[in-house]
Structure 1
Amino acid sequence: MPVKTIESGTVADAYIDLLADRGVDFLFANAGTDFAPLIEALAKFEGQGRKMPRPVIVPHENVAIHMALGHYLQSGKPQLVMVHVNVGTANAMCGLMNAWRGNLPVLFTSGRTPYSEEGGVLGARTGEIHWPQEMRDQGAMVREIVKWDYEIPNATVLEQSVDRALALTMSEPKGPVYLTLPREVLAGPVENFTYTSPSRRLPSTPPFPDLNAIDRAAELIAKAENPVIVSASVGRDWDEPAKLAALADVFAIPVTQRKPRYVALDSEHPMHLGYEPDALLADADLVIVIECDVPWIPNKKAPGKETRIVHLGVDPMFTSYPMRAFATDIAITGAAGPSMAALTAALETRVAGARDRIDARRKRIAERRATQRERWAAALEKAKHETPINPLWVTYCLDQVRGEDDIIIKESPIAYEQLTLKKPGTMFFTGAAGALGWGLGMALGMKAAAPEKRVICTVGDGAYMFGNPIPAHYVSQAEKWPILTMVFNNAMWGAVKRNTHEVYPSGYAAKSNREPLTYFDYEMSFEKAVEVAGGHGEKVSDPAKVPQALERALKVIDVEKRQSLLNIICKGP
C-alpha cells in the first residue's frame, strides 16, 4: 500500500499531515495553553505551503462544535474541533449532546493539561493554571455522550487513533468521538514517521434490513386500511427523500412528520400530510415509524391498542435512551434509505391484490390534504395583519423571497406549514438533545461548506442569546461567511410557558398570565449586536414591513457580502 513519510518534525506535525490526508477540511478551534505545539505546526505548514485543515478561530466552543456539525450536514464529511482542556470541553457539552442524540459525526478533541512538573521534556508545565486545571479522568466528562474517547499517548498509535476516531464517528449510528492530546505528546519529536495513504481503516457499511422482517412489515401494510408513516430524521442523508416518496406513493401511505429535523418529503407530494401526527393516529390501524425517537406523546395522543406498530431505523429501539417503551410489533434494524427501498420493492409485489384499497385511500388522502391546506391558508389570512407579528406571517414572507436552494435553520417558531420544502438539505432542526443555541453555529458551518448558498438562521430570542451571538457574528465577518439571522423576539421562553400550562392548566401561573421565570422584562435591541461585527441590523414591528425588511437584509448579503440580522417583534404562544 502507498505510504507517506515525515522525515523529521513533531507529533503535532504528523497529526496535522494525517488529518489533511484523511480529508478534514477545517479545524474549528478556541485555543488555550495546551495548543502551543499545534499552533507551531500550523504556522510551519502555512509557511511551507503544505496542505492542512483550515484553522478558524471561534471565540466560543458552543459555536465551534455546531459549526462542525453544520459543515457535515452540507459536505457529508466530519470536521475537526479542538478546545482548551476541561474548561473548553465543558463549554462544548451542549453541542456534544445535540450530536449524540442527532447521530451527527464530529471529531471533537481537546488538549490535556501538561502532566510533567519538573521540566526536562518539551511541553511540560509552564504556568500556574496547569495545576488546578488537571483532572483525574477528563474523558469522564463526556463518556456518556460520545461513541468513543481516547487519550493519544505517543506517535506510535497516532495513525491508528485518528483513523479509528474517523471510522467510528462515521459508522452508523453516527455520533461524536473525543480525543485528548497532551501537550508533551504533541511536542514530542518524530523521525521517519510513515503512514498509509489512503487509510485502510474505513467506516463500517450501514446496516441492511432483515428481508424476512421487511416481508412481514409489507404484509401488514398490504392488509391495512389506514396505514400512516411517522418520521423525524429521514432526510439527513439526501438520497432518503426520494426513497420515502416512492414508498409512500406505491401504496398510498400518508406521511406526517413530528418536529422534522430535515426535508424528508417534498411538501407538495400528494402523500405529504403535514406535521401533526396526532391528527392521523386516531384512525390508523398501522403506524410505520421511520427514524423517529418520539412518534407520539403517550399521555396526549397515542394509537389505539389494536393498532400495529412497525419501527424502522439504524437503531429502532434507541438503545442509548434510558427509557423508551413505545409499542413495537416489528422493529427492523437498517439504514433508512435501503430499508425504505426494500420495503417498497416488497410492496410492489402486493399492489395487484390491494388495488381497490389503495385507490380508495389515495382519494381519501387527497381530500384530507386539500382540507388541511385550506385550513393552513385560513390561518395565514387571519395572521397576516396581527400585531405583535404572527410567526405564521413571517414564515410566509420568508418563503416568498427565499430561493429553492436557500438553507433554513429552524431554532425558532417559524411554521413548517407555511414553507415550501422541496429539496433535500435545505431545512434543518437539529437541536436533537434540546440544547438551545445551536442555530448560529450550524448556519456558519453550512455556509463554510457551501459558500455559494444563502443560509438563513431563524432563532427565538432565547435561542439567540444561548447561541453566543457576538462570537458567531465575529466568525461571520472574519471568515467572510455572510448569513441572515432572523430573531423571533417574543420576550419570553415560549416552551416554558406552554409546558407550565400543560401541567397546570388551571393553576396560579396560568391565571396570572405572567408566569414567573418566563418573560424577559427588558426589550433587547438585538439588531445592534450584529453591528459590532460590521453587519446590517434592523428592528421590525409592523407586519406590513416584513417583506421589505427581508428584501433589504438579503440584498446586504448578496450584494454587499455582509451579514444581516432582523429583530422581529413577534407574538408568543
Structure 2
Amino acid sequence: MTRAERWYTTSTAFLEALAEAGVRYVFANLGSDHPGLVEAYARARDEGRAGELPELVICPHESVAMSAAQGYAQASGRPQAVVVHVDCGTQNLGGTLHNAAKARVPVLVFAGASPVTQDGELPGGRNEFIHWIQDVPDQRGIVRGYTKYDNEIRTGRNVKQLVHRALQIACSEPAGPVYLVGAREVMEEHLTPVPGRAELFTATTPGALAPEVAARIADALAGARNPVVVTSNLGREPDAVVELVRLCERLAVRVIESVPMYVNFPADHPLHAGYQWNTPAPNPALTEADVILVLGCEVPWIPSLNRPAGNARIFVVDADPLKERTPLWHVPAELYARANPGLAARQLADEVAAGPVRAEDVTARYARSVADHDRRAADRARKARPRPDVITPEYLAVCVHDAIDDETIVLSEAITNFGVVSEFVPRSVPGTLFGSGGSSLGWHAGAAIGVKLAVPDRLVVSLVGDGTYLFGVPASAQWTARRYGAPSLTVIIDNQGWRAPKLSTLAVHPDGVAAANDDFGVGFAPGADLPGVAAAAADAWAHTVADPAELPPLLTEAVKVVRDGRSAVLAVRVPPV
C-alpha cells in the first residue's frame, strides 16, 4: 500500500468526486465535523496534488458561501459545492438556500453530522461537548422544503456514487440545490482508491415541446392581433435569448420581462415592452394582448393588480409549468407544456419561420412597438434628470449605467428599486444581469464573489438597498473577496431604512394609524458608515455621497479602482424612507 493509499479516506474520495464532476470551488465554513476534509486538503497540498481537488474558499459566514456558489453557477452554468457545520451551519444557510431553490440553481451542500459513537469505538468519535448538543433528530429535515434531493453518506465505499447522483439531480431540469450529510467516523473511513464515473451521471437532456404542441402555440401567435411573451428566467441560458429574438422578430411579438433575474430579451430592442414588478396598475401591453405566451416565468403578473384581459388565450411553457413545489399558484391557461424555455423558443421560431405571416399586421405591430419604445425612453430621460438638491434613484441608476460598459455584469438586489434598476440600467447582452431568484436578502455579497471567480475578466457591479447590504454580512463577504482576488463595486441605494415593509403596510392599510402617524418602524437612525464596514474588513475603497454633482466622478473613480483589483463600496444618499 502506498503512502497516499494509506491515508485515502471517504473525505478524499468525496473531494475527488466533486472534481470529477467539474466542481471548481468548495465554498466552506469549517467546523468540528470536518477534520477529514481538512486533512485531505492538507495531504493533497503536501503531496503536490492540490490541483486535483476543488479549490477551498474559506467564507466566515455560511450565507456568503452559499451565495458565492450560486453566483458562480449562475455565471458559468456549472454547479459548485458548499461545506457547512452540522445543523448550526445548515440553519445559517437559511434564506440563501431558499434563493438557490427558487432560482433553480444547482449547488451541492455538504454538512457534517454529529459523530455516531461516543466510547472510542471508531476514529472520529465524539470528543467535544458540542457533539451532543448538535445531535438533532432530523438534520436533513431542516432543508427538505428547499432541496431536490437529500441523503446521508453512510459508508465511503459508495461516496462517489452518492456525490455524482446528487449533482446529476441538481443539474437536471428544473435544477436546484441538493444536500448531503456525513458523520465524522464515516468521513474518516479508510478506503481503497477507486476512480469515479462522472460520465455515467449526466443530467437529463432538456425537454422539448411535442410537435403538435409547438404547432398549436405557433399558430396562435401567428394569428394573433397583439401577441405578447412574458418571461423572467429564459435568459439563464444565454443562447435562448437569441432564439426568443428570432421568434419575436418574425411576428413582431412584444416581450414583457416580469421580475427578471437575467437578460431575457435585449432592453434596447424595439420589441421590448418593459418590466413588471409589483406594478399596481394594469400593464397596457398585457391588457391589449389577445395571445400570451408565458415562457420561463415564475410570476407573470399579479392577478389582483395587473392581470391580462379575460378573453386572452394563454399558453404556459416552462421546465416546471405548474410550479409543483409552490402550494398556491395558478395561471388560467389553455395549455401547460413542460419544456426547456430556450429549446421551446427555438422550436417556435422554426415553426413560424416556415409558416405564412400577415406582413401588413407584422409591419403595423412593429411600428407601434417602435413608437412605444421611443416614448418610454423619453419618459425615462425625463425622470432621470438631475436635481440640484437631491440624488434620486433614477438619476443614480443612469449615472451607474453611464459609468459601466455593455459587458459589465450587474447584480440587482435593490428591492423597492428593482424596477428603477431594470429601467435605468438596461442590459442587452445576455449574461450581464443576475438576480437572486428568491426573496432572501443579502445574496449579492457572496454572489459577486462567485460571479467574479467565474468570469474574472469582467467588471461586476451590485446595486443594492442599504438594508440588503447589511443582510449580506458585508464584513465577511468583503474579507473573502479580498483574500481570493474577487473585487467588485457595490453601489448602495441608501434611503436610510426599509422601504418595502412601509409600502406593504400602506397597500393593506392606506388609511391606518401607521399611515396617519408615519409610524412604520423602518428607519435606520442613527445612520451608519456602511462603506466603512468594507474598508475596515478588506481595505476597500469606501465613500458616501449626497451631492448630485459629486456622483458621476466618484463612480468613475470607483470603477477604475475595481478594474485595478480593489473592491469599492459607494453609498449614495437618496430621499429617506
Question: What secondary structure, in the 3-state scheme, does the structure 1 residue paired with 2:503 have?
Answer: helix
Deviation at 1:447, TM superposition (A): 0.8
**C-alpha separation between the residues in 1 aligned to 2:144 and 2:530?**
37
Q: Secondary structure at the match of 1:434?
A: coil
Deviations 1:135-158 (A, max 9, x none): 121100011110000000001221
Matched, 1:427 2:433: yes
Alignment correspondent of 1:149 = 150
Partner of 2:34, secondary structure, is helix
Amino acid at match of 2:224: A
Q: What SS is found at the alignment partner of 1:190? A: coil
- Tell me which residue corresponds to 1:403: 405
TM-score relative to the length of structure 2: 0.95
Counterpart-to-counterpart distance in 2, 1:170 and 1:544: 48
Could you tell me which residue of structure 2 aligns to residue 364 of structure 1? Answer: 368
Q: What is the alpha-carbon distance in structure 2 between the residues aligned to residue 113 and residue 503 of structure 1? A: 46
Q: Is the alpha carbon distance of 1:6 and 1:252 closer, same or farther for their aligned partners in structure 2, counting shifts above 3 Å?
A: farther
Can you list the C-alpha shifts for 1:251-308, whole angstroms capped at 9, x where unaligned?
A: 0001111121001111111211111482312211111111111111111121121111
C-alpha distance in 2, partners of 1:15/1:281?
50
Structure 1 residue 516, shift from structure 2 partner: 2.0
Does 2:495 correspond to 1:495? no
What's the CA shift for 1:481? 1.4
Is the CA contact (8 Å cut-off) linking 1:437 and 1:463 kept in structure 2? yes
Aligned residue runs from structure 1 range 309-328, under 5 A: 309-328=314-333
Q: After TM superposition, list the pairs within 5 Å mapping 1:138-217 onto structure 2.
A: 138-191=139-192, 193-217=193-217
User: Partners in 2 of 1:403 and 1:363 — Cα distance?
Assistant: 29
- 1:362 Cα deviation from its structure 2 partner: 1.3
Map of 2:95 onto structure 1: 94
Greater Cα offset, 239-248 or 269-278? 269-278
Aligned CA distance change for structure 1 residues 171 and 155 (closer, same or farther; 3 Å): same
Contact 1:6–1:14 at 8 Å: present in 2 too?
no
2: CA distance, partners of 1:196 / 1:470: 38
Which amino acid counterpart does residue 48 of structure 1 have in structure 2?
E
Q: How does 1:72-83 map to 2 (within 5 A)?
A: 72-83=73-84
Query: Does structure 2 retain, via aligned residues, the 8 Å contact 1:278–1:296?
Result: no
Contact in 1 for aligned 2:17/2:164 (Cα 8 Å): no
Matched residue SS, 2:528: coil
For 1:226 and 1:250, the matched residues in 2 are separated by 14
Classify the secondary structure of the residue corresponding to 2:400. Answer: helix
Superposed CA deviations along residues 421-473 of structure 1, whole A, max 9, x for unmatched, are 1211111122x231111011111110111111111111101101111111001
Q: Root-mean-square deviation (CA), in Å?
A: 1.5
The answer as to whether partners of 1:488 and 1:568 remain within 8 angstroms in 2 is yes
Asked if 1 retains the 8 angstrom alpha-carbon contact of 2:151 and 2:181, the reply is yes
- Partners of 1:571 and 1:130 in 2: how far apart? 50
User: Which of residues 494, 516, 521 is equivalent to 2:520?
Assistant: 516
Aligned to 1:443: 448
CA contact (8 A) 1:67 1:446 kept: yes
Question: Secondary structure of 1:15's match?
Answer: helix
- The partner residue of 1:380 within 381, 384, 388 is 384
Partners of 2:269 and 2:473 lie apart in 1 by 38
In structure 2, the partner of 1:120 is 121
TM superposition shift of 1:386 = 5.8
Q: Distance in 1 between matches of 2:506 and 2:291?
A: 32
Q: How does 1:262-301 map to 2 (within 5 A)?
A: 262-276=262-276, 278-301=283-306
Contact 1:385 1:544 in 2 (8 A): no
Counterparts of 1:23 and 1:49 in 2: how far apart (Å)?
Answer: 20
Deviations 1:111-150 (A, max 9, x none): 1111101112100001001001101211000111100000
- Please state how far the C-alpha of 1:167 moved relative to its aligned partner: 0.5
1:536 aligns with 2:535: no
Deviation at 1:98, TM superposition (A): 0.7
Partner of 1:392: 394
The 2-side partners of 1:327 and 1:386 are apart by 48
Counterparts of 2:16 and 2:372 in 1: how far apart (Å)? 58
User: In structure 2, what is the Cα distance between the partners aligned to 1:439 and 1:342?
Assistant: 34
What is the alpha-carbon distance in structure 1 between the residues aligned to residue 198 and residue 310 of structure 2? 53
Counterpart amino acid of 2:45?
E
Give the length in aligned residue pairs. 562
Tell me by how many angstroms 1:197 deviates.
Answer: 4.4
Q: Are 2:572 and 1:568 aligned?
A: yes
Structure 2 gaps, min length 5: 277-281
8 Å contact 1:497–1:515 — kept in the other structure?
A: no
Once the two structures are TM-superposed, the CA of residue 7 in structure 1 deviates from its matched residue by: 7.0
* Corresponding position: 1:460 with 2:451: no
Change (3 A) 1:341 1:10: same
Give me the identity figure in percent.
32
Partner SS, residue 462 of structure 1: helix
Alignment-derived partner of residue 279 in structure 2? none
Q: Return the letter of the residue paired with 2:23.
A: V
CA distance in 2, matches of 1:157, 1:235: 37
Judge conservation of contact 1:265–1:272 (CA < 8 Å) in 2: yes
Gaps in structure 1 of 5+ consecutive residues: none
Whole-Å separation in 1 of the counterparts to 2:530 and 2:344: 45
Alignment partner for residue 421 of structure 2, among 411, 415, 432?
415
Change (3 A) 1:242 1:572: farther
Instruction: Give CA deviations for 1:494-515 in whole Å, capped at 9, x if unaligned.
Output: 1111111111222222222x33
What is the distance in 2 between the residues matched to 1:386 and 1:506? Answer: 33
The C-alpha deviation readout for 1:369-416, integer Å capped at 9, x for no partner, is: 2212111111112xx216441111111111111022111111112421
Task: Give the match for residue 220 of structure 1.
Answer: 220
Contact 1:387 1:571 survives alignment (8 Å): no
> Secondary structure of the equivalent of 2:14?
helix
Which range is displaced more, 463-472 or 362-371?
Answer: 362-371
Cα separation, partners in 2 of 1:198 and 1:133, compared to 1, 3 Å: closer
- Counterpart of 1:254, as a letter, is R
* 1:15 partnered with 2:14: yes
Question: What is the identity, as a one-letter code, of the residue corresponding to 2:535?
Answer: E
Q: Aligned partners of 2:211, 2:521: CA distance in 1, in Å?
A: 52
Kept after mapping to 2: 8 A contact 1:74/1:425: yes
1:222-241 alignment to 2 at 5 Å? 222-241=222-241
d(CA) in 2 for partners of 1:204 and 1:386? 57
How much does 1:333 deviate?
Answer: 1.2
Q: Which residue of 2 aligns with 1:24?
A: 23
- Counterpart of 1:209 in structure 2: which amino acid? L
Deviates more, 1:544-553 or 1:11-20: 11-20
Matching residue's letter, 1:23: G
